[in-house]
Structures are given as C-alpha cells and as structure tokens.
Amino acid sequence: MRLVRVAVPVPALDALTYSVPDGVADPPVGARVLVPLGNRIITGCVLDSESSAERRAPSARGDNSQLSSPNLQLQTSNSKLQTSNAGIKPIIEVLDGGPFLPTDVLKLATWVSNYYACGIGDAIAAAMPPWALKGVRSRFRTTRVAALTVQGHDSRDLRLGARQREALDLLAGSPDGMDTAELAERGIGAATLRRLASLGLVRLSRRAVERDPFHRGAMMSAVARTPHTLTAEQADAFEQLRELVARQSFQAVLLHGVTGSGKTELYLRLAEEVRRLGRGVLLLVPEIALTPAVAGLFRAAFGQRVAIQHSGLSDGERHDQWQRIRRGEVDVVVGTRSAVFAPLPSIGLIIVDEEHDGSYKQEESPRYHGRDVAVVRARESAALVVLGSATPAMESFQNAQSGRYTLLSLERRVLDRPMAAVRIVDMREEYAAAGPDVTLSATLTEALAERLERREQAIVLLNRRGFATAVFCRQCAATLECPNCSVTLTVHRAARRARCHYCNYSTGIPKTCAHCAGPYLEQTGFGTERIEADIRERFPAARVARVDRDTVRKRGAIAGVLERFAEGELDVLVGTQMIAKGHDFPRVTLVGVISADVGLGLADFRAGERTFQLLTQVAGRAGRGEIPGEAIVQTLYPHHYSIRHACRQDYQSFFAEELAFRTAMRYPPAVALINVIVKARTEQAAMEDAGALAGALRIGGEPYRVLGPAPAPLSRLKGEHRAQFFIKGTHRTSMKNALVTVLASRPEIRRRTIVDVDPMSVL
C-alpha cells in the first residue's frame, strides 16, 4: 500500500496518513489532494509520500544540515509514516499535477509548525493563497471573449444583418478577440453574438484576467525615481551590504539607522544589485499603512516585475498576485508578514523593514513572527537578510551584540538634517492649571497654531481609538462592560455606539445606568476620535483627518488619506500608531504625542520597549524636509526611563537599561518564554485544566521554570474564561518539546489551548 502524509487545515491536528488508490500516480509533494475526514471531504496538501520519502532521503538530510535549528530534527522523527495500515482511507482526488507549494515553502511551513508548536495544517494554510484549500481548483477571474473564426474572416459574401456585419467588422480589427462587455457597450448584444457563433463565424470563450491591485488604493502614486547620491555613511553601509550579498551565502545584518537616515534608498539599491545577480528579493513591511508608499517606490524602480502581498488586498487580488509570483513572473515581492511565505524562487535578499514592529507577530495560529521566519528562510535560501530599524527589537540588538548578526549603523539623517527637538509636557502640571478634562496642553495648542499659520503640517498621535474609553456611573460607580469580555466598552461618538475592541460587540450609548438606573453617566478617558474633535473645535479652519482602524476599515482608504496629506491637502493628521511609523512627509514640522504613557501602566514586560519605540519613531516623523522639526510629548510620567531615552533618541542607553531589567526579571531576551492560555466555560475549569498542564510539566529537575497558572489579564474573552501560565528557561527546544508531549497526552485540553512561543504581548 502506498501512503501519503497530508496536512489538512484543521486547527491542532497533526499530519494525517492516507493511501493512494491503485492506478493513481503518487501525488507530488506540495500538491493538493481531496481527502475524507470524518464525514467531510476537505482539501489538504501532500507533505510526503512513501516513494518520494525514499527518493528524497539523501537530499532532505543535506538540506536539514543547513538549518542549525534543532527543531527540524523533531520533525524528522515525527515524520515517519504510520506503520499500521488499519483504517487508512484512500485519497479521493489529486488536484495538482505538480507541487502547488514549492518545496522550500513547504519546508518553511513545517519549520513554523514545529517551532511554534501549532498544527501543520494551520502553518500550511498560512503559506497558501486565498481559496487554495477551499476545494476549488481555480479562482481566476474570467471574462467572455468573442473572436472571429476562420470562416468569420472569410464571410464577405454571406448575407447578414447590419448588426451582425458590424460585429464582424469590429472583430476583424481585434485579432485577440474582444470582451463581450465592450461589444455590448457598442451596441452588439449577446443575441447577435450567439447567432454568429451558431453560424460558425464567431468563437465565444472565457479568458482569465488579472485583478491588478496596483491601480488603486494599494499604492500611492509612484514618482519617477531619481537615485540620490549616497551620503558617506550610506555609501559605507552599502559597500558592506553589497559585499555580503555577493557571497550568496546566509548572512544576517541588523541595519540600525536613525529615522530619516535613508534606509529605503539602501534597500532599493541592494534590491537592484540582487536582481542583477539573477536572484529574487523579498521586502517585508509592517501592517497595511506602510505598504502603499513602499510598494509604489519599488514599482517605480522595478516596473512589472514587482508583486505585492498583504492583507489590504482583496482575496482575488492576493490570489492573482500569488499566482504571478508562482509562475516566476516577478523578481521582487513587497508585502506584510504572510509574504514571508511567497513562492518566490531563488531568493537572494530578504529585507525586514521596521523589524521591531509588533505587527510582524501573528496573534492567531500559527503564532509566528514574520521577522524570525524571514531569518530562517534566508538561511535555507543561502540569502542575505537585512533587518532594518531605528529602534531594533531587544532580541535583534542582542543578536547583533553577540555577533550572530552583523551590525551596520547609520547615525545621522541624510543631508545633515537635525533630529527633531523633543519637548516634554508634564500633564500633572497641566491638569493642576487647567482642570482634569484637558486633552491638548497649552504648549501643544500653541505649537499647532504656529504650524497652521505658517502652512506647515502636523501629526498628532494617541495610541487609543474611539471617543471615550469608558462610561462610568457617578451614582453607583458601575462601568459599561462587554458582556463577553472582561473590558469596558469604548464610546464611538460618530457611530453612536459603545463597542468592545476585542470581540466587536456593540450597543447604543446608554443614557441611564443599567445597574442603578441613575441618569448620571459620565464618559471618561479619551481616544483619537475625541482628539480630532478637540482640534477641529479649537481650529475650525484647519483641515484635519484621522487615521486609525475605525477610519481605514475600507480597503484603500488609508492610501487616499496619506496621499492627500502628502499632497498638502490636509494640515493635521490625527491617528494611532499606524501613523507613527515609516512615513516620509517632508512638510511635517510638528509631532504631538498625547498620553505618551498609554501602555506603560500595562502589566506587560514589553511595555517600556514599546513606548520607547513608538516615541522615537513618531519623533522621527518630524523635520524630514528642509525645515527642522519639533516633537511635543505629553505624559504623566516625565521621568520614566523609556520616555527620557526616547526624548533624547538615545537607543544605546535605552537598550542597556531595558536589558538590565529583563535580565533581573528573567524575561526575553534574557530567557526564552512560552505563554500558554487555556480556555474553558468557567473560570474554575480554566484554572483546573491549566493547572493540570502546568503540573505535568513540573516533573522535577526540569531545565525550565513553570509560573502559574493564574487567571489571564484578559480573564474573559469572547465569552470564554482564560487561565494562563508561563514556561521560562534558556533552552527553548526542550521547553517546547516538554509542552508538546504534555499536550499530546491531553487532546481534549489541547483543543482549547493557545500556545504562544516567543510572545510579543502577554496580555
């Protein structure tokens, strides 16, 4: 009996074994197959087959040795085909004649499933384009096309109606045929074409058309690219990068360049270099907001040979772009984290821009970190990986210090532009002087007025959306809470709803307290919607727009707003961290940060790092043009080290102080961390099940520590109770293997368990 192992897109399932019926050829590794599962038929992906396993054995071993990660060994030992044949069902159909996923991508997905301890099906699904596992063979968009047949070309002597003759004349001018929709516009309807087809004069067929995401929202209008003359610092870095990329072997570089130091220019030149070597380039950027601008730049530089892959595209566009990459029609892929799986052949360079950004981490299964997967992919492809940031992640900078990554630094802005001057406003003094309702300090208001007068632009950032963050009853002290989650509802005034930011539950804004029926409801806390309203009220003539997840729900909306801002059609941009990163707006001379400490109060070990990054990045948005910039930071904790170091834009000092804290508290990068969350219907059940797992991990003498369980900070989410515990240690693989073994012995709990390896957030 010939057997194949198949990954199916069902959470927390390992690979399943099926047989290949007689008379059916072995499906290729990476091909999709239809298989029975329970009483369903689903689409899976072939991981390995008996004969292919034998054939590939030597080369597979060779490939593995390139990957120093011990995690692959786990895979090899797991990957033995089931030995007992009882109960094995045959596959129903082979959907692809060759590998749908290229082998290297398949291997990468397998690495992800091992490293992050998730089901192989989840990892494979993450690497697939939309619909690939939905059992549908092709989702290309097609149009109906009419074309002349040979007889049609030779129809001069036939007696035909005027419409029919007109149709033939039109088609005679289009050797490739014409879209029936276009013909209809010219008055030639379906009936005419059908009649001509029945006479054998016209052939009607369907043709695939590509959905092109470049023509709208996905890209800011590309300016023709005039390469800059590199600064001395840039030239120095570029020489080293060029030397590394020419080696065509695995190399990892951390490019630590202050904001405005011209990293993008280096990316473009390096990409050109790699293309000249005949190898592919993958550029990863953080979520949505950045893609349009960067994609535009790369499109301008590389024309048609660029594809984009990100969550802002429609499924159809993503599918078509993926297929273009798979067909080998592009050399450069620009995309967000899932683009790390793009089926780009012979990769020579992977760039992870703003590598510290939290959006590289996927917060659902598979919980992978796009940057870390990028490093693994580069290693497998013998490629150069460049991690770029003005505020590198603690992990990355430590890797640079320990010599695992080569560190390249750009310490100055291009054209000797000064860094923005940063002023701190102590909001405690502001409240004392102007009352507790102040959102814009006098300093910031004054600075905004100056900018508006001088026709310069300003960015105002608050990392919290909505109008008010809570509804509070002054009579009984109750707050308006989500019925499904342990959080308060946020007031969205324009939408007239109070909404949960975790499960999206919403309700009308109440006038009386649901608890005591009192009419004394007060809205407390504030978000971006309120800031926008306050700025409009204070400066009625100013052109203000807001960018956050509420305003950019619609695809393409963000590119529109950013483009208007870039064109100078807006004066003030209010937004969440979406506007903090990456953008290059030369006319912005003021950045205001409201409540810089949002987040510092959170019980998350990365809170200080995140605050430092956000403030440094946002200050980096000011003064990128001719006129020097200024940043005004409002905070209740002016002396917190994150805020102090960010205001001086002093990364090294921040890193040293933060690393001391992480080491003392035994947090990453000093140790490896795994967060385990168990969900259950009651708090007690969640605690008990989490306790059972944690207990089984404490076997005595284990090379790690287990902390907890305790109710998770978000103890209720979407109606489920959650308990969590942590595994800390210096040897990640043994921690994870122990956990995987324990979970395998408790399949019923495993189904309700979230495993987060290297968590970005523990809230």
484 binds, among Zn ion, ligand ADP, none (CB under 5 to 8 A by kind): Zn ion
How far, in Å, CA of 378 to CA of 385, rounded? 6
Q: How far is the CB of 481 from Zn ion (least distance, A)?
A: 9
How does strand 332-335 pair with strand 280-284? parallel
Contact 584, 620 (CB under 8 A): no
357 vs 430 by CB, closer to ligand ADP: 357
Q: Can you list the alpha helix ranges (DSSP code H) found in 675-731? A: 683-697
Residues paired with residue 35 on neighbouring β-strands, in sequence order: 42
3-state SS string for 699-711: CCCCCCEEEEEEE
610 vs 716 by CB, closer to Zn ion: 716
Amino acid type, 457: Q
Q: How far is the CB of 525 from Zn ion (least distance, A)?
A: 17
Contact 371, 352 (CB under 8 A): yes
Q: How far is the CB of 386 from ligand ADP (least distance, A)?
A: 12
What's the DSSP call for residue 304?
A: G
377 vs 621 by CB, closer to ligand ADP: 621
Q: Is the dihedral of CA 647, 651, 653, 659 positive or negative?
A: positive
Residue 271, both tokens: 């990409």
Q: How far is the CB of 267 from ligand ADP (least distance, A)?
A: 8
Residue 465, both tokens: 């959306």
What's phi and psi for 47, nearest 5 deg? -95, -35
How far, in Å, CA of 202 to CA of 148, rounded? 5
Strands of the 251-257 sheet, one edge to the other? 306-309, 332-335, 280-284, 347-353, 384-389, 251-257, 406-410
Is position 415 an interface residue for ligand ADP (rule: CB under 6 A)?
A: yes
Q: How far is the CB of 227 from ligand ADP (least distance, A)?
A: 9
374 vs 509 by CB, closer to ligand ADP: 374
- Contact residues for Zn ion, defined by CB under 5 A: 482, 484-485, 500, 502-503, 505
Collapsing DSSP to helix, strand or coil, 77 comes out as helix
Is position 27 an interface residue for ligand ADP (rule: CB under 6 A)?
A: no
229 binds, among ligand ADP, Zn ion, none (CB under 5 to 8 A by kind): ligand ADP
Residue span binding ligand ADP (CB under 6 A) among the ranges 17-25, 113-121, 226-234, 563-571: 226-234
550 vs 658 by CB, closer to Zn ion: 550
Is position 229 an interface residue for ligand ADP (rule: CB under 6 A)?
A: yes
Residue span binding ligand ADP (CB under 6 A) among the ranges 254-262, 310-318, 497-505, 680-688: 254-262
Is position 260 an interface residue for ligand ADP (rule: CB under 6 A)?
A: yes
234 binds, among Zn ion, ligand ADP, none (CB under 5 to 8 A by kind): ligand ADP
What's the DSSP call for residue 420?
A: P
Tell me which of 52, 261, 439, 576 binds ligand ADP, using CB under 6 A: 261
Residue span binding ligand ADP (CB under 6 A) among the ranges 42-50, 228-236, 457-465, 606-614: 228-236
Is position 359 an interface residue for ligand ADP (rule: CB under 6 A)?
A: no
How far, in Å, CA of 426 to CA of 501, rounded? 29
Going residue by residue from 368 to 407, which x/- string records binding to ligand ADP, judged by CB under 6 A? ----------------------------------------
How far, in Å, CA of 376 to CA of 362, rounded? 16
Residues in the chain: 763
Is position 414 an interface residue for ligand ADP (rule: CB under 6 A)?
A: yes
Is position 457 an interface residue for ligand ADP (rule: CB under 6 A)?
A: no
Q: How far is the CB of 718 from Zn ion (least distance, A)?
A: 6
Interface with ligand ADP: number of residues (CB under 6 A): 17
Is position 296 an interface residue for ligand ADP (rule: CB under 6 A)?
A: no
Residue 757, both tokens: 């390896």
Collapsing DSSP to helix, strand or coil, 190 comes out as helix
Number of neighbouring beta carbons within 10 Å of residue 433 = 10
Is position 236 an interface residue for ligand ADP (rule: CB under 6 A)?
A: no
Q: Give the CA radius of gyration of the chain.
A: 29
Residue 172, both tokens: 């005679």
Q: How far is the CB of 505 from Zn ion (least distance, A)?
A: 5
Q: How far is the CB of 410 from ligand ADP (least distance, A)?
A: 7
Residues forming the site for ligand ADP (CB under 6 A): 228-231, 234, 257, 259-265, 414-415, 584, 624
